[in-house]
Amino acid sequence: MAVDPLWHALHAFALRETGMNLSSFVAGPALTGLAELAAAAGLSREAFLQHANHDERSRIALITRVANGTSWFFREWSGFETLLANAKRIRSQTGRNDIRVWCAGCSSGQEAYSIAVVLLDEGFVPHVVGSDIDAASIRRAEQAAYRTSDMLRMPAKYARYFDGATTPVRVSRRVRDCVQFVRHSLFPSGKPPTLVQHPDVIMCRHVLMYFDRTVARNIVAEMQRLVSQRSALILAAIEQTLQSGTTSELVPGPPPSPAAPAVGRTTTQPGPALSLDLTPTKPLTETLAASDAAAQLAAGLQHKQQERFAEACAALRIARFLTRDEHWLAPYQLGVCLERLGDLREAAEAYRHTLLIANNGGTSGLAGDGDVDAMRSSVIAACQERLRVLG
Ligand SMILES: C[S@@+](CC[C@H](N)C(=O)[O-])C[C@H]1O[C@@H](n2cnc3c(N)ncnc32)[C@H](O)[C@@H]1O
């Protein structure tokens, strides 16, 4: 398929302005967003892109069109278990009940409010600052009104922190009073907004997975410097390969069933990569990233075949990170291996992630991609079945 010549310019804009290394999978919607903004301004797409380089309002509007703000309440529960474990440790070590949390890359507020609810429910006094580069998301966060579909993962006991049972559901005043929002970019430095003072916990989840990997590693390193001996940095499962050792004293949440903890784990190095035949039809950087991902996927599959599930997970996590929302085989295989390790919660997240990609037309991530439609259908069916069983 011919690549729109403006895609490379838009990709470069996002990388330069936000740190995000946009996947070619989002080229369609991102280019549509650019076209709509350009039409509204009476400019050509090229002229609007140029304009956005020096005009703040246009830049902000374009960032809104390329940022992926997908979020929902109580997403990836293991992160909240880790949050609570750390809050309880802080209380027992210091006698303090107030917990300061920076929710970095909070999108339209679901995660920041979830943090406040989980802490309030355990008797803590939360002070949460949610930050995001996307001005439109921050405005929605401040409105604190959501669709019921954003609440599907909410444990029933938290319903009392929300007003109304039909769309729009409003976050209750008590929760809203614990949360502030600010527009702020994590790029290039990962430094916090001035509102954030000595956070006890930084939660930055499903954000850095969209970034250039080197940039993401630097941001994680900066955040690790910020969290003191008494505090914790919590990333999403997909992003944990970015953490090099732990400078923070991070208490993992209770492990789901007999599994290893989801956060603060040291990942095992993947075994030797297999060489795959990748035809370099993309720019060099994309080809290198793709071949890394394909090699990690192949290594993961090999480990899995030999029943080395921990090693398989380490390689598959990297493959999943590198291919972000484009390829579904790595998250699917990760789900299978995590189940074999007994980590059912993260397995369910991996299956959900697989479905998201597969249903949106992503490819397998295998070099040849062969009879991908048949394989995609059976992977979708398998994920649905596993999610039904896992609940
Ligand atoms: C997929 S959402 C994740 C939301 C939430 N953390 C969660 O886990 O559900 C990713 C968010 O990262 C934000 N983002 C992207 N680049 C950013 C940057 N440079 N600084 C701050 N936020 C950024 C996007 O605007 C988007 O709202």
Q: 56 with 86, same domain? A: no
230 in a domain, yes or no? yes
Give me ligand 1 centre to Cα 6, in Å: 24
Do 224 and 365 fall into the same domain? no
What local confidence, expressed as pLDDT, does residue 302 receive?
A: 84
How far apart CA 338 and CA 353 sit, in angstroms, is: 14
Ligand 1 atom closest to 134 (CA): 25
In a domain, 250, yes or no: no
> Domain boundary residue among 221, 242, 263?
242
Among candidate residues 43, 66, 89, the one where a domain is terminated: 66
| pTM exceeds 0.85 for this model | no
Quick one: 59 and 83 in the same domain?
A: no
pLDDT digits (tens, 9 = 90+) for 85-107: 999 999 999 999 999 999 999 99
Domain assignment present for 381: yes
* Ligand 1 center from residue 272 Cα (angstroms): 33
Any domain includes 267: no
Alpha carbons 345 and 306: distance in angstroms, whole number: 24
- The whole-number pLDDT of residue 282 equals 36
350 is a domain residue: yes
Q: Best substitution site from 64, 101, 107 to test ligand 1's pocket, by max atoms within 8 Å of Cβ?
A: 107
Instruction: Yes or no: say if 107 and 139 are a contact pair by the CB < 8 Å rule.
Output: no
Same domain flag for 82 and 224: yes
Q: What is the pLDDT of residue 362?
A: 81
- 201 and 106, same structural domain? yes
Q: Name the band, by pLDDT with cuts 50, 70 and 90, for residue 254.
A: very low
The answer to whether position 1 is within a domain reads: no
C-alpha of residue 71 to centroid of ligand 1, in Å: 9
Q: Are residues 93 and 220 in the same domain?
A: yes
Q: What is the pLDDT of residue 291?
A: 60
User: Are residues 323 and 363 part of one domain?
Assistant: yes
233: pLDDT strictly greater than 90: yes
- Please write the tens of the pLDDT for every residue from 338-382: 988 888 888 998 999 999 888 887 888 776 544 456 678 878 888
Q: Per-residue pLDDT tens for 199-209?
A: 999 999 989 98
pLDDT at 374: 64
User: Are residues 41 and 124 part of one domain?
Assistant: no
Task: State percent of the chain over pLDDT 90.
Answer: 50
Residue pLDDT, tens place only, 100-134: 999 999 999 999 999 999 999 999 999 999 999 99
Kindly report the CATH number assigned to the domain that includes residue 342: 1.25.40.10
Average pLDDT over residues 22-27: 77
Taking the centre of ligand 1 as the mean of its atom positions, its distance from the CA of residue 300, in whole angstroms, is 28
Q: Tell me: do 234 and 300 sit in the same domain.
A: no
Looking only at Cα atoms, what is the longest distance across the chain?
Answer: 61
Q: Which atom of ligand 1 is nearest to the CA of 108?
A: 27
Please state the domain count of the chain: 3
**What are 142-180's pLDDT values in tens digits?**
999 999 888 888 899 999 999 988 889 999 999 999 999
Could you tell me if 44 and 86 lie in one domain? no
256 has a pLDDT exceeding 90? no
Has residue 127 been placed in a domain? yes
pLDDT (0 to 100) of residue 345: 86
Residues 27 and 97: beta-carbon distance below 8 Å? no
Q: Which residues line ligand 1 (CB under 6 A)?
A: 18-20, 67-71, 75, 105-107, 111, 132-134, 137, 185-187, 205-207
Domain finish residue from 178, 213, 242: 242
Q: Which of the four pLDDT bands, split at 50, 70 and 90, describes residue 275?
A: very low
Q: Which amino acid is at 348?
A: A
Residues 37 and 81 occupy one common structural domain: no
Please, which pLDDT band fits residue 306 given cuts at 50, 70 and 90? confident
Q: For helices 56-66 and 6-18, give the axis angle rounded to 10 degrees.
A: 100
Residue 278 pLDDT: 24
Domain, as residue range, for 36: 6-66
Residues 234 and 88 in one domain: yes
Lowest mean pLDDT among 37-46, 225-234, 318-327: 318-327
As given in the structure block, the two tokens for residue 147 are 């669709």
Hey, which bits of the chain come out as E strands?
Answer: 98-104, 125-132, 145-146, 162-163, 169-171, 179-183, 201-204, 232-235
Greater pLDDT, 256 or 172:
172
